[in-house]
Amino acid sequence: MQEQVVLDRDGHLHMEPDFPPAVRSLAQVISYVTHPLFIPTLVTFLVLQSIPEYMVAFKPLSKQFAFDMLYFRVVIISLFFPLLTVLLAKALGFISSIYMKTQRDRIIPYVAIIIYYFWAFYTFLQEGRAPKFYSAFFLGMFLAISLSFVTNSFLKTSMHTVGWGGVIGFLLSLMWGMHMNVSVPLIITFFIAGVVATARMVLKAHTPAEVYLGFIIGIICQLAACWILVV
């Protein structure tokens, strides 16, 4: 690893590590695989596989069919609609890149995702079939995206670390609000979150401050949602 002189966003020169192409390629793959849009589906999978007894209200006819429909709802709301929004915004010229490398590019996707996550939270809450901790997860994500939208005016907050901070906060909420022993998943998630944060900084997509801010927002908003709905 070498160092190079770069110009930061404030116009100041400083030294930064220059990583080999192989390391940058690996960091790019990690960023794709751990994209925050996959997190609601991942959390749903973990809940259904680990504690399906809490989701019994979703299976009045067939357990597999009911769970498949839940996956379908989550994927449509949290993955398909946001991706469609970004692609449409790019096609119409509202954003310069689907990778949303600038704060301006993130405004429309932020607003859309805020609406989608509130929709998910509200429908799960009103139906009354999902356990409160599951509805609280979507409330926490809604709060986190809303707060990130506000901070976007000052910093390009890392959405990767907002998402993985949200998973950490969700697991902490299960320990705090539901008194569940989730020590092993929590340790694994901390490790993954560290790898994700490192990958984002290797790619120079974010500054350390933007990465840490994402973790703080994700964790605090999940704990707040748990306090609102569960505790």
- pLDDT for res 59: 58
- pLDDT for res 5: 46
Write b or e for each residue in 112-129: b if 16 or more Cβ atoms lie within 10 A of its Cβ, otherwise e: bbbebbbebbeebbeeeb
Q: 136: closest CA among 174, 187, 82, 79?
A: 174
pTM greater than 0.85 (yes/no): yes
Task: Please give the sequence-ordered ranges of beta strands (E in DSSP) within the chain, or none if there are none.
Answer: 2-7, 13-18
> What gap in Å lies between CA 103 and CA 61, rounded to an integer?
46
Mean of pLDDT values over 130-151: 96
> What gap in Å lies between CA 181 and CA 171, rounded to an integer?
9
Question: Is 96 in a helix, a strand, or coil?
Answer: coil
The answer to which of 47-56, 58-67, 103-112, 162-171 has the lowest mean pLDDT is 58-67
Mean of pLDDT values over 62-66: 58
- Per-residue pLDDT of 145-204, as tens digits, reads 999 999 998 999 999 999 999 999 999 999 998 889 999 999 999 999 999 999 999 998
How does residue 87 score in pLDDT terms, banded at 50, 70 and 90?
very high
- Output 65 or 136, whichever has higher pLDDT: 136
Q: 225: closest CA among 110, 118, 100, 137?
A: 137
Cα separation values, 206 from 156, 160, 211, 214, Å: 7, 10, 6, 10
Q: What is the mean pLDDT of the chain?
A: 89
- pLDDT for res 63: 56
